[in-house]
């Protein structure tokens, strides 16, 4: 049975794809860590099979594709995967630990990468490298980001909220390494239900009481005064509600406007869910998941839900009008949650606006014949 989605054109959707479960880092709070999977078989997504699924993603309205792992730069065809998605009309982002970034970034830029997210665990670089088990990692990150700055690529630090984070040192470290903005991942107290191993539930580094975690959220909000933070204030407030057991106002868009694909080409409504929707190549058969889930605190889904809420309401209002229900349309649009979502969008725009000029200058340099940098290549291997 083919599922018809009438809201596709009104709001672009997002999909993250884990191209491998292999990783070269040893992070204490991550289930992908090399020491925790010693002797286990690694998996690598089939580029051609994923390519066959890209038209299905586009038909479902997915315009943004996030490439992740494990460590995605270990995948031998990661550049080709990015190129395939870019050629399919998607804006591609990549999340990496940065170890291979200096030797890979030029090819990634040529393939069409437009957003680069590098994991960071602490404002103290020694602490970060110790947790990652990769001596010299921050120097590689800095070299890779410097090269990335010559292309129209946004450079974001991704920090898991853990006991390693030192907020006082963060602004200086982020600026020195070459990041343009930072986003925080909220910790979980349990592993994911999906095939993703992005959190290890045995680590004491991500175990907080509700009050402790709320204090960390307050520190993230305070950081906004000294460095661009992508987590919306409304999203932080929503997680506070979650931790306090209060009513949450933003239903998750996972399974509706945000999806997850693993290295086996299984499609999930999100990384936290315990059952896949099914094979990627059957995407047209899967109905939207609109059950107002607020079960987890995974930032990429929950923060995106805040940003998308107003757009989802507009799409719902349009559908109500098509079916001759103007009162339902007004109810969907005129609510406090829609106003809060619009405020979050405005807040994010204020973060991105100064960065857009930097990207524009880099893009113009490329369009006007600027050549790629060729000096200082790091040819390090995994």
In a domain, 98, yes or no: yes
Alpha-carbon distance values, 72 to 97, 101, 193, 237, 325 (Å): 9, 11, 21, 32, 47
Q: Which of 145, 157, 335 is nearest to 249 (CA)?
A: 335
Q: What is the pTM of this model?
A: 0.90
In a domain, 372, yes or no: no
pLDDT at 356: 59
In a domain, 305, yes or no: yes
The CA R_g of the chain, rounded to the nearest whole Å, is 20
pLDDT tens by residue, 105-137: 999 999 999 999 999 999 999 999 999 999 999
Measured distance CA(235)–CA(340) in Å, rounded: 10
CA atoms within 13 A on the CB side of 185: 23
In a domain, 374, yes or no: no
Say how many domains are in the chain: 1
Measured distance CA(21)–CA(280) in Å, rounded: 18
pLDDT at 200: 65
pLDDT at 221: 97
pLDDT tens by residue, 352-369: 776 655 444 544 444 444
Q: What is the pLDDT along the chain (382 residues), one digit of tens a residue?
A: 555 554 454 689 999 999 999 999 999 998 888 888 777 899 999 999 999 999 999 999 999 999 999 999 999 999 999 999 999 999 999 999 999 999 999 999 999 999 999 999 999 999 999 999 999 999 999 999 999 999 999 999 999 999 999 999 999 999 999 999 999 999 876 677 888 888 766 789 999 999 999 999 999 999 999 999 999 999 999 999 999 999 999 999 999 999 999 999 999 999 999 999 999 999 999 999 999 999 999 999 999 999 999 999 999 999 999 999 999 999 999 999 999 999 999 998 888 776 655 444 544 444 444 445 444 333 333 3
pLDDT at 201: 64
pLDDT at 382: 36
- Give the bridge partners for 96, in sequence order: 118
Sign of CA dihedral 225, 230, 235, 236: negative
In CATH, what number is assigned to the domain containing residue 173?
A: 3.20.20.70
Which domain does 122 fall in, by range?
11-367
pLDDT at 352: 78
In a domain, 100, yes or no: yes
In a domain, 29, yes or no: yes
Per-residue H/E/C for 156-207: EEEEECCCCCCCCCHHHHHHHHCCCEEEEECCCCCCCCCCCCCCCCCCHHHC
pLDDT at 355: 63
**What secondary structure letter does DSSP report for 231?**
S
In a domain, 378, yes or no: no
Q: Which of 218, 353, 190, 355 is nearest to 274 (CA)?
A: 190
Residue 78: Cβ within 10 Å count: 27
pLDDT at 6: 41
- Give the bridge partners for 62, in sequence order: 13
In a domain, 303, yes or no: yes
């Amino acid at each position: 049975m083919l599922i018809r989605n009438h809201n596709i054109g009104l709001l672009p959707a997002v999909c993250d794809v884990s191209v491998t479960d292999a990783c070269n880092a040893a992070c204490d709070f991550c289930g992908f860590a090399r020491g925790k999977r010693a002797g286990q078989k690694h998996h690598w997504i089939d580029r051609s099979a994923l390519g066959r699924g890209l038209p299905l993603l586009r038909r479902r309205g997915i315009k943004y594709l996030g490439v992740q792992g494990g460590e995605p730069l270990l995948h031998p065809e990661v550049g080709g995967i990015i190129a395939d998605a870019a050629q399919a009309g998607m804006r591609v982002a990549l999340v990496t630990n940065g170890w291979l970034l200096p030797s890979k970034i030029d090819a990634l830029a040529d393939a069409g990468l437009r957003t680069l997210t590098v994991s960071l665990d602490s404002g103290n670089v020694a602490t970060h490298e110790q947790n990652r088990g990769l001596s010299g990692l921050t120097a590689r990150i800095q070299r890779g980001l410097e090269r990335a700055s010559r292309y129209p690529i946004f450079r974001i630090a991704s920090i898991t909220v853990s006991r390693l984070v030192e907020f006082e040192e963060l602004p200086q470290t982020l600026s020195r390494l070459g990041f343009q903005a930072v986003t925080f991942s909220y910790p979980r107290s349990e592993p994911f239900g999906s095939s993703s191993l992005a959190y290890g539930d045995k680590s004491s580094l991500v175990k907080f009481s509700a009050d402790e975690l709320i204090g960390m959220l307050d520190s993230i909000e305070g950081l906004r005064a000294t460095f661009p933070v992508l987590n919306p204030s409304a999203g932080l407030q929503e997680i506070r509600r979650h931790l306090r057991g209060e009513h949450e106002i933003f239903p998750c868009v996972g399974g509706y406007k945000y999806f997850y694909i693993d290295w086996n080409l299984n499609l999930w409504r999100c990384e936290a869910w315990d059952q896949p929707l099914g094979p990627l190549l059957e995407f047209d058969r899967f109905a939207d998941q609109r059950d107002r889930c607020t079960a987890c605190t995974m930032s990429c889904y929950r923060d995106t839900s805040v940003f998308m809420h107003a757009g989802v309401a507009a799409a719902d209002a349009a559908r109500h009008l098509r079916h001759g229900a103007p009162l339902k349309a007004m109810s969907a649009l005129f609510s406090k949650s829609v106003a809060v979502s619009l405020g979050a969008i405005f807040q994010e725009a204020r973060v991105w606006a100064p960065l857009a000029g930097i990207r524009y200058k880099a893009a113009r340099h490329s369009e006007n014949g600027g050549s790629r940098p060729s000096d200082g290549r790091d040819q390090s291997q995994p």
